[in-house]
Amino acid sequence: DHPGLSFRVFTTRPDTTFGMTFAVLAPEHPLVEQITTPEQQSVVRNYVEAAKRKSDLDRQTDAGEKTGVFTGAYAINPVNGQSVAIWIADYVLMGYGTGAIMAVPAHDERDFAFARKYGIPTPIVIVDQAVYDTGDASAWDEAAADALEDAFAQKEGGVMVNSGQFDGLPWPQGFDATAKWLEANAAGQRKTNYRLHDWLISRQRMWGAPIPIIYCPNCGTVPVPYEDLPVLLPEDAEFSPTGESPLKHHAGFHSVKCPQCGADAKRETDTMDTFLCSSWYHYAYVTPYWKEGETLSPDDTPWNPAEGERWLPVDQYTGGIEHATMHLLYTRFFTKVMRDAGLVNFDEPMLRLFNQGMILGEDGEKMSKSRGNVVNPDDYVGKYGADAVRAFLMFIGPWEQGGPWNPRAIEGVQRFLQRVWSLVVKTPSGQPQGVPPTANEIAALRRATHQTILKVTDDYEHFKFNTMIAALMGFSNTLVEAKKTAVYGTEAWDEAITSLLLLMAPAMPHISEELWSRLDKPYSIHTQSWPVGDTELAKEDVVEIAIQVMGKVRDRIEVPADADKATLEAAALASERVQKWIEGKTVRKVIVVPGRMVNIVAN
């Protein structure tokens, strides 16, 4: 009996407090030793020692059955005065919340499994609105609680029962009402709890960011004085296989004087991990040689402020989805600090995020050495060329999805590149001699050129690389046919070929540069302006539209691209195929979508 003791529990569901039948403390909780009854001390002590040998990650994982032991002590539920058993369990962490949780087994899956394992009651205090509306209280009485097979954990649509004055309150009114009652009666308070854990330092390199700490035999741990920052790494460290950082064996780095007492001291030789450097690398990239060769002071900015204003924040970030909970999170921390320090005038480091997919093995599984399905791209670069491999990776599927590696598909991409090479390098034969191209031939080629420019530009901007490559392939086929006609060698042909190479350049830089030089164009293709598509030139002269009768396609017809609604309606009703479906019926309505379809409603 400990009348003077109390402890706080953390919960996200105050509306379930009436259903608390036990509380769980972290094994490290300071009250555990004090409240454990004599007959439970041995089993509790053994459990605490076992928990100490586990990592927080092991303790939090959902794999495996949850375990715990009863302390022998009880607490009082503040909302109803009932006794609740106090247990300890290693899935509760001292570093999260208060190191103690209230357990409501009928409405939490983990608590429910724990309660069933150890024979703890599971009273029902939340039911579905539909169940509550029946008015049948047997659905939430003790017998119903004993018969529960699963926890009812949903919030929306739940109604409070067996909860005193709060009976009948739905979510979220029940949440607010119980929270206010707890605060008014000094039994609880609202608080935002963050799931943020300590930064794990694991990916360390000798050339990582130094930790500015000095260890003095007299003064203990001493921070490097502000005026001595930044700590610079040596450039002559010995890299030998000792299993330790080279900094530990570099006397010029680690042997220093204590900044407080002047005694011989040692500098910290550990470094921060890669994530610290990658948290702000893009800031340094705006002026990579800023202050190089100069004596640095702690007041120096790590990049040229003028260049920072020009280039930052990052417009588009592309990376794996795992970065959302690691690298990008840390980058935001750094940006907030830099904002507060006046180094930047924005809040978010990245304006847009795009997560690319994963290239799988030929078997459709993630590549790994254990599966034996790892692909070495160098082998394929040697056989097909870097451009073919790059283009294939873009063509393999939607960029955000990725897909399985298919070596046979690379051959199709290689044939496309060979076709482009022939378009530029090989002189055609068998063309009509002395016959100028027709206006329609010129218009058709320019239309295809500007349609491709518009399509490829839009695909690049929206990361639709697979359809971008497909559009270039289709355009190259168009040029193969155009090369057989009198349009070859005209301004329209030159526009088409140069546009093709410019559109290819970001994805296939090597062949594009080579063919650009073969055309005697100014060096380099990668410094030229991007082609601009003309929407007027890209318009089709005629388009195919679907004719529907009562929502089903009955015919397709070609019409002028600029045909108005009246013209389209007349053309649809004049179709012989359509007339078969409306014969003997009254046309009630004709719906026209210019350029796409006509739908006839008749009965």
Q: Are 286 and 311 in contact (CB under 8 A)?
A: yes
Please give the mean pLDDT across all residues of the chain: 90
Q: Are 365 and 391 in contact (CB under 8 A)?
A: no
Helix (H) / strand (E) element for 75: namely strand 69-76
Among residues 128, 130, 168, 175, the alpha carbon closest in space to that of 150 is found at 128
Q: Are 129 and 92 in contact (CB under 8 A)?
A: no
Q: What number is the average pLDDT over the span 63-87?
A: 90
Q: Is 436 exposed, middle or buried (0-12, 13-18, 19+ CB in 10 A)?
A: exposed
pLDDT greater than 60 at residue 62: no
CA torsion, points 510, 514, 520, 521, in degrees to nearest 10? -10
For residue 517, the one-letter residue type is: S
What does DSSP assign to residue 82? -
pLDDT at 312: 94
What does DSSP assign to residue 156? T
Q: Is the model more confident about 282 or about 320?
A: 282
Q: Is 353 exposed, middle or buried (0-12, 13-18, 19+ CB in 10 A)?
A: middle
Phi first, then psi, for residue 501 (nearest 5°) are -65, -40
Residue 377 burial (CB count, 10 A): 14
Q: CA 367, 464, 497, 561 torsion: positive or negative? A: positive
Top-confidence range, 9-23, 59-73, 238-252, 491-505: 491-505
pLDDT at 245: 87
pLDDT at 1: 66
CA distance 316 to 337: 21
Reported as a single tens digit per residue, the pLDDT across 522-531 is: 999 999 999 9
CA distance 532 to 191: 55
CA 105 to chain centre: 34
State the distance between the two ends of the chain, measured CA to CA, in whole angstroms. 85
pLDDT at 98: 84
CA distance 205 to 278: 13
pTM of the model: 0.60
Residue 124 burial (CB count, 10 A): 23
Q: What number is the average pLDDT over the span 570-588?
A: 90
Q: Is the model more confident about 5 or about 434?
A: 5
57-66, 185-194, 229-238, 371-380: segment of lowest average pLDDT: 57-66
pLDDT at 97: 74
- Given the structure tokens 């000095």, which residue do they identify? 214
Q: What number is the average pLDDT over the span 537-546?
A: 86
Q: CA 377, 383, 386, 392 torsion: positive or negative? A: negative
CA distance 132 to 159: 7
pLDDT greater than 90 at residue 160: yes
Q: Are 472 and 415 in contact (CB under 8 A)?
A: no
- Given the structure tokens 């929270």, which residue do they identify? 179
Q: What is the band of 433 on the pLDDT scale with cuts at 50, 70, 90?
A: low
Question: Which three-class secondary structure state does DSSP give residue 383?
Answer: helix
pLDDT greater than 90 at residue 23: yes
Reported as a single tens digit per residue, the pLDDT across 167-196 is: 999 998 999 999 999 999 999 999 887 776
Q: β-pairing, 126-128 with 158-160?
A: antiparallel
Q: Are 217 and 263 in contact (CB under 8 A)?
A: yes
Among residues 140, 122, 120, 119, the alpha carbon closest in space to that of 130 is found at 140
CA distance 219 to 258: 8
Question: What is the tally of helices (H) and strands (E) in the chain?
Answer: 22, 18
Domains along the sequence of the chain with CATH: 14-184 (3.90.740.10), 213-276 (no CATH), 279-355 (no CATH), 363-539 (1.10.730.10), 541-602 (3.10.20.590)
Q: What is the largest CA-CA distance in the chain?
A: 111
CA distance 343 to 332: 14
pLDDT greater than 80 at residue 503: yes
Phi first, then psi, for residue 281 (nearest 5°) are -60, -35
Bridge partners of residue 246, in order along the sequence = none
Q: Are 423 and 476 in contact (CB under 8 A)?
A: yes
Among residues 114, 41, 93, the alpha carbon closest in space to that of 72 is found at 41
Q: Are 350 and 278 in contact (CB under 8 A)?
A: no
Q: β-pairing, 264-267 with 317-319?
A: unpaired
Q: CA 419, 424, 430, 434 torsion: positive or negative? A: positive
DSSP string, 548-596: EETTEEEEEEEEETT--HHHHHHHHHH-HHHHHHHTTS-EEEEEEETTT
CA distance 93 to 359: 38
CB environment 552-577: b (16+ within 10 A), e (fewer): eebbebebeeebeeeebbebbbebee
Give the CA angle between residues 134, 140, 143 to the nearest 5°.
125
pLDDT at 153: 85
CA distance 411 to 406: 10
pLDDT at 269: 92
Q: What number is the average pLDDT over the span 315-327?
A: 84
- Given the structure tokens 């409306």, which residue do they identify? 582
Percent of residues, the chain, with pLDDT higher than 70: 98
Q: Is the model more confident about 544 or about 85?
A: 85
pLDDT greater than 90 at residue 386: yes
